Amino acid sequence: MTEGVDPFDVLEEAEAVTSDDQDPVTNTVENTKADRLRASAGTDGADLESDTDGRSKDPLSKFVAECRWCRVGFESKEAAHAHEDCSKEPVSVCRFCGEEHTPRDDPEDHLYACDEYQRYREKQIRNSRAGTMRGGDGLGIRQFIDGQPHEFSAYLKYDNALSTYFGLVSLYKMHDFEEYGQLRAGLEFDDKDWNLEFGYKSCGLAPPDDDTDLGRWDWRLDDPLEFRIYVYPSAYDSYQDAKDENRQRVYYRVSPRWPDMESVNGKSFSNPHDLLGVDIEVDGSYFEFDQYADVLYQALDVLRDRQQEFGWNSYTAIDADACHPEETHESSNVIDAEYYVRVKKELTGKVYAFDGTLHRISMLLGRERSGYSKTVRDDRKCEGHYHTATIGAMRAAALVGGHELPKEFKHYHVKEPDAVEGTVLENPKMGVSFQHGLYDDTLYWDDLDRLKRELDEGLLNLLQWSDLPITPDHQVFVADDYFAVEGSRRFRKVIDDPLPRIA
């Protein structure tokens, strides 16, 4: 698709169902009457003098016609004529995937979700000498500024992974926590050196009944434990120090799972898929979203090596492979995720102004008396200190066609802006985050690609509607320890400003 081409052009006309000199409504009326006569007479239509009692039992007998598209029945020919333009009548078909479309369908939204069309556009861009392609539909493969992943939390679940849990139990018994504190080790990941800490805590679960069939596992635990794994930069002495300075880090809380679990007070414990393995809470910052499963896998591998250093003759080795990223259970899900860019503070006034982008986002579909929308405006520490616009799924779909996830759009400074004056951190972040609490469904781990696309597009459109560039620009964006003013070519939907105006 080239610039200026109507997106409808890629949708071919559907085959005509009547000739030009036929009246489709009259034809439908006549056909329906004929069909009813044949139905009352039998399969071959030979005996048309069937009893009227049989016809009176026909549930459609009061209708003289039926729409072939939506199957609505009509009690008169006039009613059938009034329904001539049926909203479900296909008028076109996508030439890439063959899906039919009705007059009410938005071709842009279909192309946005059409995998065949995206592959076609990607092939076009690879063959394009210019290397840039935009269409009038807002879809394009071009270079966009890369947002930086920020806060992230999820639950990684692994079935058939009690071998991992009991390996950690064995490591817990090997290490003297009272004398040495938490067990420490080194980890190399993504060409960087990290500190790895291992700890434990009571998890409030009652051990399984003695007659519970849990395979070969001998619990011998009066108080089942949950284990804590911390990963943070090697330059810091503790996880808390790294957290206090907002450094890249991740924390895993590993809890056992088995069918029919109960808490110590006798209440049932949620395990909807009857996992016989582990449920791992993840909370981190600044890693790529899909890296959290990789870091966990490598951390377990390091802890298994530490077991060997104790020199015990008999112990349960930590089964890292049971928690390999490819073994992630389908019920694993995401709770929080955010992308951000850092922008020079003198250029962001239009974002958080009273009639600015954030407030206008919150006012989208302002006359609707359903859904969710919220605005927060806090300028107590400095101008534009913390401003957000939070919208539910309905408004997210209206904002950018094809989006489904509730989001929070942000403009915010550090907690104490005076303390970072004169540094790059004096410049605010603009971000977009997923709002789990407003989502009626579950965002599963397998949906990470959709999550990344929606957050990325939300951030790019927030920039566009604020008259800020969506390509790398060192005159606008400010690099920090994690965010780099860099771009990459990708298929993204950037549209003209659809927001309401505020008088």
Instruction: Using the CB atoms, write b or e for 47-78: b if 16+ within 10 Å.
Output: eeeeeeeeeeeeeeeebbbbbeeeeebbeeee
Average pLDDT, the chain: 84
In a domain, 174, yes or no: yes
Number of domains in the chain: 3
Among 57-61, 362-366, 433-437, whose mean pLDDT is lowest? Answer: 57-61
162-195 pLDDT, tens digit per residue, is 999 999 999 999 999 999 999 999 999 999 999 9
Q: Verify that 392 and 487 share a domain, yes or no.
A: yes
Helix (H) or strand (E) holding 303: helix 291-309
Q: Verify that 363 and 386 share a domain, yes or no.
A: yes
Q: Verify that 181 and 220 share a domain, yes or no.
A: yes
Q: Verify that 467 and 345 share a domain, yes or no.
A: yes
* 305-165-449 Cα angle (round to 5): 90
Distance (Å) of CA 185 to CA 248, 251, 301:
18, 15, 11
Q: Verify that 237 and 352 share a domain, yes or no.
A: no
Q: Where a domain ends, among 328, 355, 383?
A: 328
In a domain, 344, yes or no: yes
Among 212-226, 308-322, 354-368, whose mean pLDDT is lowest? Answer: 212-226
62-119 pLDDT, tens digit per residue, is 677 777 667 777 777 777 776 766 766 666 777 778 787 776 666 666 776 677 777 7
Give the pair of three-digit tokens for residue 437.
């609490």
Among 14-18, 176-180, 217-221, whose mean pLDDT is lowest? Answer: 14-18
For position 80, what pLDDT does the model report? 74
The Cα 293–Cα 325 span in angstroms is: 5
- Contacts of residue 373, Cβ cutoff 8 Å, sequence gap at least 6: 362, 363, 364, 365, 366, 389, 390, 391, 392, 395
* Number of CB atoms found within 10 A of residue 368's CB: 11
The Cα 20–Cα 328 span in angstroms is: 58
Q: Verify that 391 and 480 share a domain, yes or no.
A: yes
In a domain, 465, yes or no: yes
Helix (H) or strand (E) holding 389: strand 386-391
- Contacts of residue 218, Cβ cutoff 8 Å, sequence gap at least 6: none
Task: Specify the amino acid at residue 260.
Answer: D
In a domain, 185, yes or no: yes
265-288 pLDDT, tens digit per residue, is 888 888 889 999 999 999 999 999
- This prediction's pTM: 0.75
User: Higher confidence at residue 169 or residue 369?
Assistant: 169
Task: Specify the amino acid at residue 322.
Answer: A
In a domain, 214, yes or no: yes
* 436-442-447 Cα angle (round to 5): 100
**Inter-residue contact 430 to 145 (CB < 8 Å):** no
Which residue range forms the structural domain that includes residue 170? 160-328
Q: Verify that 301 and 225 share a domain, yes or no.
A: yes
Q: Verify that 378 and 324 share a domain, yes or no.
A: no
Strand ranges of the sheet holding 225-233, from the earlier edge strand across to the other edge: 183-189, 192-202, 225-233, 249-257, 277-285, 148-158, 333-342, 429-434, 407-412, 386-391, 373-378
Give the pair of three-digit tokens for residue 213.
């069939």
- State what percent of residues in the chain have pLDDT above 70: 76
Average pLDDT of span 437-454: 96
In a domain, 412, yes or no: yes
The Cα 286–Cα 249 span in angstroms is: 7
Residue 434 clears pLDDT 70, i.e. is over it:
yes
For position 129, what pLDDT does the model report? 39
Q: Verify that 378 and 484 share a domain, yes or no.
A: yes
The Cα 328–Cα 447 span in angstroms is: 13
